[in-house]
Structure 1
């Protein structure tokens, strides 16, 4: 008594899908194939499941499902490719998987380069640098604010004038100068 198969064998499905029998076996083991109760392969349902679960770059040419790409993603990919001197898509419809993959690899390489530069001490954290500049500027301001009191008596003796008048004049001009410096804002780009 021979029972009839409802679907395809692994060999038949491999030929149908344009892939190796080993690839069919891997797809079966990973659950990317839909099987009938008799263990044969439901070709139409398996094609749909494999198309959804398989990396488009690993699908046979012409079989990759095209999914809409958000405009923001296209812009980011185009910018990355242009920065590297590579051709970039003009619109979402012109985006290829290869272009997106290339941009992703470029970004990963840039990230690794930045991590390496940070480890070597060639690149510093922006927040840390801003905090350091702020601390140094505050120390400089405090040093200048205290300077008139430290030198006024010596300068007054050299010039033969009263120490209080000299200190008042120095403080007035030092504060004016510090007020001008306070308007300077560092920019970290």
Structure 2
């Protein structure tokens, strides 16, 4: 074969094989005696015979956006958490490493969803509500405690019940005031 096949010329010219076949039938290609395509002659003839207004503009190749450093760091961190080799900071991540990290993250996400479905995990908002409810029940129990035990303690100690109630109430309220300063942080 002296020249190119239809497929080879299509790749050379950046067109489809169908476009090469149409150009061949229309006589816009230069052919060798064996039917193969003369690339140089065909390029020249196609340029001369093809109406520029009817040509499609060649689409520019999409430029790949650079991957943010935070994403690369997250991939490395995920790989290290799983005991896998991670790229050094500042070096490029291979596709295989990024894909492995993605699969690890998807597996972790599925595990968390399963734990949530089983009732082993609760949402942070639900945990806050439950903790607040529990703290309020504890506080209410302590606020009501002096009224329940003041008379009993006063009788045991031989003091006035009203004085005992005021003393217990003031100490319990002071203690609850100290506990009110404690803040929970779920981060």
Is the TM value for this pair above 0.5? yes
Supply the RMSD in Å over aligned alpha carbons.
3.2
Deviation of the 1:8 alpha carbon: 7.1
2:162 aligned residue (161, 164, 171): 164
SS in 1 for 2:154: helix
Matched residue pairs, number? 147
Q: Go from structure 1 to structure 2 and tell me whether the alpha carbon gap of 1:123 and 1:72 turns closer, same or farther (over 3 Å shift).
A: same
Deviation of the 1:124 alpha carbon: 1.4
Structure 1, gaps ≥5 residues long: 1-6, 18-32, 42-47, 53-64
Partner of residue 19, structure 2: 39
Q: Is the 8 A contact 2:9 2:20 kept in 1?
A: no
Q: Is the 8 A contact 1:148 1:171 kept in 2?
A: yes
Deviation of the 1:82 alpha carbon: 0.8
The answer to whether the aligner puts 1:186 opposite 2:187 as a matched pair is no
Partner of residue 102, structure 1: 100
Distance 1:102 1:181 in 2: 47
Distance 1:35 1:8 in 2: 13
Larger Rg: 2
Deviations 1:17-61 (A, max 9, x none): 9xxxxxxxxxxxxxxx9548x5349xxxxxx97x75xxxxxxxxx
Distance 2:127 2:180 in 1: 18
Partner of residue 146, structure 2: 148
Partner of residue 86, structure 1: 84
Partner of residue 62, structure 1: none
Partner of residue 114, structure 1: 112
Distance 1:8 1:163 in 2: 110
